[in-house]
Chains A and B, each alone.
Chain A
C-alpha cells in the first residue's frame, strides 16, 4: 500500500472532485432512503444498482455503492427510533431505547446521537482502514470454524441482556429464533428440514420478512389495536434544541467510542454482520455503563452504542474486502462484484497497483460520512415531527411499505405471507409482553453456531477436544463461562441487582 496518511490526503483531493462528490451524495441519499424503508436494506438497493454500476467509471461506481451501503446503515435507525420499526435488521437493538426516548418526547435527541455516534464511528474506522488496514485483514483468516464457535458461544451470553422480565422466556425466544433459522434447505448439505416438499419452504425463512413482520406489521397492528392516535402528542422543539448537550452528549460520545471498538473489531470477521455486533455493543453497555440502570427505558447509551457499532462494522468490513477479497456481509459481496467487474481484483496488489483509486474510495467515505451528518442533523427536526403525525395516516403508509419490503429481497409473494404471519405473531407477543429482540438474536446466531460446530468437527474428525486446543476458542469459551457465572451470581447475591436486570431489560 502507499503510505497511509499521504495516500489518504491525495484521496481526499480526488474525492472532493465535483463529480465524485455528486456520486457520494447520490449514494448517501439513496442509501438513507432504503435504510428508512423497512425491508429494503443496503443489499437490495445495491443489487438494483449493480447493472447501472457496470456503465460507470470504476471510482464513481464504487463510491456510489459504498455510499448506499453506509447511508443505509445510517438510515435504518430513523424508523427504529421514531416508530419502533427497524428500517433494517441492524437497527433492531436501537429501537429498544430509541423508541423509549421518542415516547418521552426525546426523539430528536435520539436521532441526533444516532447520527453523531455513526459519524464518529465512520471517521475513526475510515482512518483505521487507511492507516492500519491491510495487516488487520489476516484476522479474517485466523478465525477458522473453531474460533467462530467460541465467538458465537460467547455471543449467546448476550441473550440474557435481552431476556426481558423472565430469563426463561427470553432464552425460549432465543431458541425459537434458532429453530426458525434452521427451517428450509440445510445450507451445508442441502438436506430438507421441515419443508414438507413445499418448493417455497425450501428457501427457508429470510431475516427480512421475519423482522418486517414482527416489528413493522406487528407494531402497526398493535397500535391500531391499542387505539393509539399519536406516538407522541406533546410539543416538540426546534431541531437545534434537540441536539444533545452537556452530560447527555458526553454519555453518548463515550458509549459511541465503546460501540465503535466492539463494532470495528467484529467487522473484520466474515459473518459478523452489523445486526449481530449491535447486540454485543448493547450488551457491553448494560455491563459497563455507569447508567446501566436506565438501559431499556430510554438511555442515550442504548442508542449511541449500537448505532456506532453498526456503522463501525459496516466500515471495517472494507478491510478484509479490499485487502483479501473476503466479503463479510451480503452487501459487501455485491460491492466485491462491482470491484471485479471493473477489473479490480482485491488483494495487496490492489493497494499497490491502484492506490489512487483505493484511497479515493476510502477518502470518499470520510466525505460521505460528513455529508450524512450535515444532511441528517437539520433533518432531525423534520423526522421527529413524524411522531406527531396522526397514526391513522402513518399506520397504513408503514403497512404498505412493509409489504413491499418483505417482497423485494427474494422476489416472492410467499415472503409477504410470511411477513403477515409474523406480524400477527408480533401483535400477540406485544400483548403478552414477550421479548422479541432475543428471537432475532437467536435467528442470527443459530446458523453460525451450527455451521461452525459442524465444520470444526469435520476438521477434527468428530473430536471435540479441537475446541480446547485453539487459544482463541478457549479464551472465548472461558469468557462466556465467566460472564454467565458472574451474571448468575449477581442475580442470586442481590435481590436489588436482580430486580434491576429484570426491569432494565428491553420492553420491545
Chain B
C-alpha cells in the first residue's frame, strides 16, 4: 500500500547537504547516498538492499538510504534514476526484471536498457522447484514424468510471462520437450504468493526463491525438488541442483546489481565496485544476507552488462514476441 523512507532521507539530505557544500571537491562519497529499490519494502530485494546499505553506511560514514519506488513494472523507478545527476549519489537496485526481462514486459520503453551505467554485481537468489507436501510427486524425475505424460493437467506458478520464475519453468518445459502453451499457468503477483499457492496445494508445481519457501519447508508444507542452478546453495545444501539431475539447461538465478544514471562518473563507479567487493567478503555481511536467504554475487559492471546481453538474447528465444 504505502512505504517510504524518502521523507526522512530528504530531510537528512538537506541537513547534510548544507554541511557538505564546502567539501564538494572531496572524494566520493561525502554526502548522503540513495539506493532506489523498484519494489515495495519488506521483500527479498528490499531486505538485501537494506543489508548492503547498512554495511556501506558503516564503511563510508555517510547515510546510505533505501528508497522504495514500487509499481509500474519498475519503469517509474528507472525513470527516476535516468533523471538523477551522474555523480553516484543516487543509484538503482537492478535485477533481471528491470533489465533483461523488461523489454519483453513493456514493449515501448522510453530509455534503452543499455543507456544506464552498470556499476557492479551485488547479490543472487536461487530459484527452487517444489511441490505441495501431499503431492504424489516425490522427486524431480517424478515431476518430469508427470509433465511429459500429460502437460495439459500440469498447473504451475507463473508471475505473468516474464521474470525469473517463468524463465525457470520455460526452461523446464523446454527440457521436457513440452510446449508451455499446453500447460496451465496460474499467475500471481510475486514469489511469496507463488509459494503460498504451492504450499496450499493449488498448483501441481511451484517455483520461487529459497527464501519464499523457507517457512513452508520448516512447516513441512512443501517438498523441495531441485534448485535451478549449477552449484548447490549454501542456504539449502540438501537440495540437489538441476545440473546434478541431468538438466543443466534448466537454470534461473535471480541476481541484483547496482546501476547508475547514464555516464556516471568513473571515480564513483570505481569506489562503488571496490567497496561492494570488500563488503561481499565480509563474514558479517554474508551472515546478514543469509538471514534473508540471499547470497553474494561479485562481478564488475562490464560482467553485469554481458550477463544482461546474454539473458536478453535468451529471452527472445524462450518468450516469442507477443
Q: Do A and B actually bind?
A: yes
A residues with a Cβ closer than 8 A to B are 39-41, 43-44, 46-48, 50-51, 54, 89, 140-145, 184-190, 192, 197, 199-200, 202-204, 206-208, 270, 273, 323-327, 329-331, 333-337, 340-343, 345-349, 408-412, 451, 454-455, 458-461
Residues of A within 8 Å of B221, CB to CB, are 141, 324
Bound together, the chains give a CA A48 to CA B68 distance in angstroms of: 11
Residues of B within 8 Å of A207, CB to CB, are 1
Does the CB pair A47–B4 fall under 8 Å? Answer: yes
Does the CB pair B162–A190 fall under 8 Å? Answer: yes
Quick one: given A347-B219, A409-B1, are A341 and B67 in contact (CB under 8 Å)? Answer: no
Q: Which residue of A lies closest to B8 (CB)?
A: A48
A263 to chain B, nearest CB (A): 18
Bound together, the chains give a CA A411 to CA B71 distance in angstroms of: 12
User: Which of B2, B155, B221 is the most central at the interface, judged by chain A CB atoms within 10 Å of its CB?
Assistant: B2
Q: How many residues of B contact A (CB 8 A)?
A: 68
Quick one: given A190-B106, A336-B42, A341-B50, are A455 and B69 in contact (CB under 8 Å)? Answer: no
B264 to chain A, nearest CB (A): 21
B residues with a Cβ closer than 8 A to A are 1-8, 40-43, 46-47, 50-51, 53-54, 65-73, 75-76, 79, 105-106, 108, 110, 152, 155, 158, 160-162, 184-189, 192-193, 196-197, 199-203, 211, 214-221, 288, 291-293
Does the CB pair B197–A204 fall under 8 Å? Answer: no
Question: Could you pull out 15 A-B pairs where Cβ atoms are within 8 angstroms?
Answer: A47-B5, A48-B8, A184-B71, A185-B72, A189-B187, A199-B72, A204-B72, A270-B196, A273-B1, A323-B219, A336-B42, A337-B41, A411-B67, A451-B189, A460-B184
Does the CB pair B155–A203 fall under 8 Å? Answer: no
Residues of B within 8 Å of A455, CB to CB, are 186-188, 197
Bound together, the chains give a CA A142 to CA B71 distance in angstroms of: 29
Does the CB pair A48–B7 fall under 8 Å? Answer: yes
Bound together, the chains give a CA A136 to CA B215 distance in angstroms of: 16
Bound together, the chains give a CA A252 to CA B205 distance in angstroms of: 48
Residues of A within 8 Å of B291, CB to CB, are 340-343
For B54, give its contact among A51, A273, A333 (CB under 8 Å). Answer: A51
Bound together, the chains give a CA A147 to CA B2 distance in angstroms of: 27
Does the CB pair B161–A44 fall under 8 Å? Answer: no
A11 to chain B, nearest CB (A): 21
Question: What 16 additional pairs, Cβ within 8 angstroms, besides A48-B7, A270-B196?
Answer: A144-B201, A185-B73, A188-B160, A199-B75, A202-B73, A203-B71, A324-B219, A325-B216, A330-B2, A341-B288, A347-B216, A348-B218, A408-B6, A412-B69, A455-B188, A455-B197
Does the CB pair A458–B218 fall under 8 Å? Answer: no
Does the CB pair A43–B76 fall under 8 Å? Answer: no
Does the CB pair B51–A411 fall under 8 Å? Answer: no
Does the CB pair B40–A51 fall under 8 Å? Answer: no
Does the CB pair A144–B187 fall under 8 Å? Answer: no
Does the CB pair A41–B2 fall under 8 Å? Answer: yes
Does the CB pair B162–A409 fall under 8 Å? Answer: no
Quick one: given A43-B3, A54-B54, A330-B40, are A459 and B199 in contact (CB under 8 Å)? Answer: no
Does the CB pair B72–A459 fall under 8 Å? Answer: no
Q: Which residue of A lies closest to B203 (CB)?
A: A459
Residues of A within 8 Å of B41, CB to CB, are 43, 46-47, 50, 333-334, 337
Residues of A within 8 Å of B220, CB to CB, are 348
Bound together, the chains give a CA A44 to CA B3 distance in angstroms of: 4
Q: Which residue of B lies closest to A338 (CB)?
A: B42
Residues of A within 8 Å of B199, CB to CB, are 141, 324
Q: Which residue of B lies closest to A340 (CB)?
A: B292
Bound together, the chains give a CA A341 to CA B161 distance in angstroms of: 30
Quick one: given A206-B2, A345-B215, A345-B218, are A334 and B71 in contact (CB under 8 Å)? Answer: no
Residues of B within 8 Å of A325, CB to CB, are 214-216
Does the CB pair A141–B196 fall under 8 Å? Answer: yes
Does the CB pair A461–B2 fall under 8 Å? Answer: no
B81 to chain A, nearest CB (A): 12
Q: Which residue of B lies closest to A331 (CB)?
A: B1
B170 to chain A, nearest CB (A): 15
Does the CB pair B2–A208 fall under 8 Å? Answer: yes
Residues of B within 8 Å of A461, CB to CB, are 152, 184
Does the CB pair A48–B5 fall under 8 Å? Answer: yes
Residues of B within 8 Å of A39, CB to CB, are 2
Bound together, the chains give a CA A145 to CA B187 distance in angstroms of: 10
User: Which of B192, B200, B216 is the most central at the interface, judged by chain A CB atoms within 10 Å of its CB?
Assistant: B200
Q: Which residue of A lies closest to B155 (CB)?
A: A459
Does the CB pair A333–B196 fall under 8 Å? Answer: no
Bound together, the chains give a CA A451 to CA B202 distance in angstroms of: 14
Does the CB pair A192–B196 fall under 8 Å? Answer: no
A52 to chain B, nearest CB (A): 10
Does the CB pair A411–B6 fall under 8 Å? Answer: yes
Does the CB pair A206–B1 fall under 8 Å? Answer: yes
B292 to chain A, nearest CB (A): 5
For A184, give its contact among B72, B203, B218 (CB under 8 Å). Answer: B72
Does the CB pair A459–B160 fall under 8 Å? Answer: no
Does the CB pair B186–A334 fall under 8 Å? Answer: no
Bound together, the chains give a CA A197 to CA B109 distance in angstroms of: 9
Bound together, the chains give a CA A193 to CA B279 distance in angstroms of: 42
Bound together, the chains give a CA A192 to CA B73 distance in angstroms of: 10
Residues of B within 8 Å of A187, CB to CB, are 160, 189
User: Which of B105, B162, B293 is the most central at the interface, judged by chain A CB atoms within 10 Å of its CB?
Assistant: B105
Does the CB pair A408–B187 fall under 8 Å? Answer: no
Does the CB pair A50–B219 fall under 8 Å? Answer: no
Residues of B within 8 Å of A141, CB to CB, are 196, 199-201, 221
For A458, give its contact among B51, B187, B288 (CB under 8 Å). Answer: B187
A149 to chain B, nearest CB (A): 12
Q: Which residue of B lies closest to A50 (CB)?
A: B41
Bound together, the chains give a CA A120 to CA B67 distance in angstroms of: 37
Bound together, the chains give a CA A50 to CA B53 distance in angstroms of: 12
Residues of B within 8 Å of A342, CB to CB, are 291
